[in-house]
Amino acid sequence: MVNVRIGAVVAEFNYDITHMMLEIAKEHAKFLDSEITEVITVPGVFDMPLAIKKLLKQDDIDAVITLGAVIEGATDHDQIVVQHASRKIADLALDYDKPVALGISGPGMTRIEAHQRVDYGKRAVEAAVKMYNRLK
């Protein structure tokens, strides 16, 4: 029996990294007797809130994880993206009374550091399952 039904919102930007994050997340969900039942890909981290909201509205989704990698560029764009997306993600969890776990690495990291942090997918699943179980 599946413990927690998880929706995942995955950024296409830096997909070589986020795809690995998703595969790690799926494996860890199985380990926790849970399942990622739906995956929505979005262009980037900034685009996640609308997809998160769609998943949170569904009765067959208990929690949502977000998977993205925001790599430092020549400007402060990475800082702005993560700051605004994370604030809205937290707001959605409160609005819908369901856990939304932040599995977004960055800002201010290199591509090599992003590859080293693919385990954020596992951490996001862990947080979502823990929060769901503690709140039910």
Read off the tokens for 60.
């067959």
Q: Is 19 a catalytic residue?
A: no
What is the DSSP secondary-structure string of 63-91? EEEEEEEEE--SSTHHHHHHHHHHHHHHH
Of the residues 19, 28, 77, 115, only one is catalytic, namely 77
Virtual torsion, Cα 127, 30, 115, 52, nearest 10 deg: -50
- In a 13 Å sphere around the CA of 33, the CA atoms on its Cβ side amount to 5
The Cα 29–Cα 5 span in angstroms is: 9
Cα-Cα end-to-end distance for the chain:
17
Q: Which sequence positions are flagged as catalytic?
A: 77
